[in-house]
Every structure is written in C-alpha cells, then in structure tokens.
Structure 1
C-alpha cells in the first residue's frame, strides 16, 4: 500500500506539472536533432540533384563532341563513345518486334554505368592484387622478373606487351578467384524444378550464386558471372587491371610502412556489392627504371 501511495504522489498532477521543464528540455534536444537531420537530408537531395545535372552536362558534352567528329576519318582512334554514337544514328532491324535502337538517354545511362562499374571494381581488384603481392614477395619478384625479361628497364609497359605476360595473367586470375569483383552474382530464377547434389530446387525459385565461396572452396573462378548475364565489360576490366598492375610492379619496388611486415599486413575485407579492403593499403613506392625514364 505504501508503495502504491508513493507511486500516486509521484504521478500526481502537481508533480507531473513540476517536471514540465525537464520534458521540454529533452524534447528540444530531440527537435533540434531531427531539424539537423532534415537539413542534412535536404542538403543531400540538393547535392544529388546538382551532381546529377553536372554529370548530365559532362556526358552531353562528350556525346556532342563525338557527334561533331563523326565525318572525320578517325578509324585508328575510334573509342567506345564513337561506337555508341554510330549505333545511336543507325537503325538496327533484326526482324524481331523488339526495338534495339538506343537514344541519347540510353547512351548516357550506358556511359554512366561504364564509369561507375569499372572504376570501383577495377580499383578494388588492383588494390587486392598489390596487397597479395606484398604478402608474397617471392611472387612479386617472379612477376617483376617476367616483365623485366619481356620489356626491360628502359621503358614502361605498353598494352601490346600484355599478351606476352602469362604470369601476370595468373596473378590477376588468382586475385579474382580469392577476391571476386561481385561476391554474390545477380539472382537467377529456375525455369523448371530440378535436383542438384541431392537438393531439390522448385521451379521459379530465385537462386543467388555465391562466387566468393565457390572460389575459396571449389577452386573455380567466376568473378564476372556466367551465361547470358555475364558481365559485358570483362575484356575491358581485365585489360585495365592487367595494364595498371603491370605498370605499378614494373616501375616501382614496393615496401610496407615501418613496423608492418608481409605476415601481419591486415587483409580484412569490407563486405558490400564489391569486396574492398577493410583498410586501404599503405605502401611506399621506390622507382626502379632507369633514371631518364622517370615521369616528369
């Protein structure tokens, strides 16, 4: 009874009114916090719109410049955008009911996808490859020796040299096996019921393929996917990664910062749509080509 009486005293109208300033103080904190959040949200929306407009202007400029040079003989210097411009200005009729023509909006979307998809994934793969090489100095030395034998130390690697660098191909392939560009491939849907390794998969079941686990446990590599939905940028991606990695390894010797050894280099992953290092790689480059070939 005493406890109940005390409870009523604490919650009496006079006591509730007495605590009013405290409630107002805490509520003011909440309102100010939400106000800041709304301002951030509004600012982010404005920033996104501004960025979107700026990107559109850049892409429009690129397309226009390529359109203005379509009548110029530049077959030896034709690039990806030139090919898209050609497709945009021609009618493609394969006899089907589908429209295969691309307009300006389609072209901008394709260019934006190429920029976003290629930069993030290629950068992550190059960083992982260099990390692995720093963890295994013997492999780094073997790769440098291969490039040295094919290119020498009087010039930088050129793209035409890549086809002769077989060990480089193996280094990149192994990096992609252990650190695939996309750990989880785009979902597939079963067209019919099927049993695989004793597991019954019902028709219309959505299946997500774990490329990361396959690479680690089954020693198979499908970093770019497979089938009709395989990444169309596989050749561009591989060429970019191989070329950049070859330059970095050939032009420089690399050493880890003070008090970090190959054995204790942090190799933790940050999971996401593409797998990045949890901590960016820090390494010190030392130029190794002949002095007069240093970049200005």
Structure 2
C-alpha cells in the first residue's frame, strides 16, 4: 500500500510561518568594552576635534624670501672668462703683429673683467639673500603656546564635544591671524591694545578660563549656581560663554588685520581714481 500523498493546501517549514505571532529571539548582547579602552577612544576622538597642537602649527615662523637671481649665467661667465683670458694671452705673447697684440690684450681684459663682474655679482646676490631670508618675528610667545596646549591636552578627554568644537574654532582663528599679526604694523587700524589683547588671549585669558573649569569637580560642572545673572550659571555654561566672548574678540581683531592688509590696495585704488578724474 502506497504512502499517503501530502495535502498541497498545507505548507511546512523549519521556522514558524506566522512571524507576527512567533516568539521573538532575544537580541544579541553587545560585547563588553573595557573602561580603559573606552577612555582611550574618547581621548583619541577629543584630540581629533582639537586638531594639531598650536605650538606645532605656529612653531616655524615663515621666512621673508626675496626673489633669487639666476646663478646659471654667472657660473657660465666664471667658466668662460679664464679660457678667454688664456686665448688672449696666447695671441698677445710673443707679439707677432700689432693686430694680434691688440686682439690678445682685448681678450685678456675682457676675460678678467667678466670674471670680476661674476664674482662681485655673486657676492651681492649672497648678501641680498642673507638680508631677505630673515625670519619673521613669531606672532605668539612659544612658551605660552606650549602651556596652552598642555591645558588643552588635560581638558580634552573631560570636556563635552560642543566645547571641544568651540576650542577647535578658537585655535583655527589663532592659526589664521598669526601670519598677519607677525607683520602687521601698529597704526590706527590695528592698535597696540589690539596686539596686546591677542598676546594675552594666548598667554592668560584662554588658559585661565580652562584652568578654572578644570578646578571644578566633574560632578558639579553642570550644577547651576546660587544667585542671579552669571552667578546662576553652571561652570560648563560659564566656560561656554567665555569661549564665545573670546572668539568674538578674536574675530573682531582678525577683521582689523584684514583691513590693514588691504590698506595699500585701497591707497592704490584712490590714486587710480584720482588719476582717472584728473584725465
């Protein structure tokens, strides 16, 4: 007797057919990450948000390099001048004819003169390069930059990401203004007070704010204070507000430096406009 044939109206499977009513599987438990590993990852991410330390970015002041005079022509003259002088001496001595004597004398004089010109020109070129390759005075004190970087390194793994982003913007502003600050003269556009503020922002203002935040215990940094106004703000809110004020002041002086850099171009514009009206 043959086995009964399965009814085609029914289906079978190794798992429940109705997934809506099937028992749900427990989610996979994520692997446990050691606290030291998490701390290292947070520190690495914080350093990435802050970027390269300031003393590394601003440690090598740019050089004021002037145009270099080509030395190939001078070298060629130095190589050919002795040969010309020797040919002239060979023609002039022993004297055979007045023409040979005159030609030899001219060649000797020309060779010696060309050699003297090449030597003098080379000396002047070296003096010009030595005078124009003097390093520009650094915009910020290097020791102040190192101290600021040390405070930032200490704060990085403890501060929230928003604060690290603010600090990264402050550092970017300092890097942008450093080349302008190193060469900017003190005038009505950028006063001595402006220059002193930039120096003190790196030496004292920013480090003092960061050190004050670090001195507050970690579990109290988000706790509001007692009182009104600024006294009611938490340590974290006070730090964020101070960073915002510093950024605004730095941006204001960056704009002043930009106007000072464009002053010569503006003077040229006025000169050309006056010539146009006069014509």
User: If the length of structure 2 is used for normalisation, what is the TM-score?
Assistant: 0.21
Structure whose alpha-carbon radius of gyration is higher: 2
Give the helix-richer structure, 1 or 2. 2
Give the strand-richer structure, 1 or 2. 1
Considering Cα pairs closer than 8 Å and 6+ residues apart, tell me whether 1 or 2 has the greater RCO.
2
User: If the length of structure 1 is used for normalisation, what is the TM-score?
Assistant: 0.20
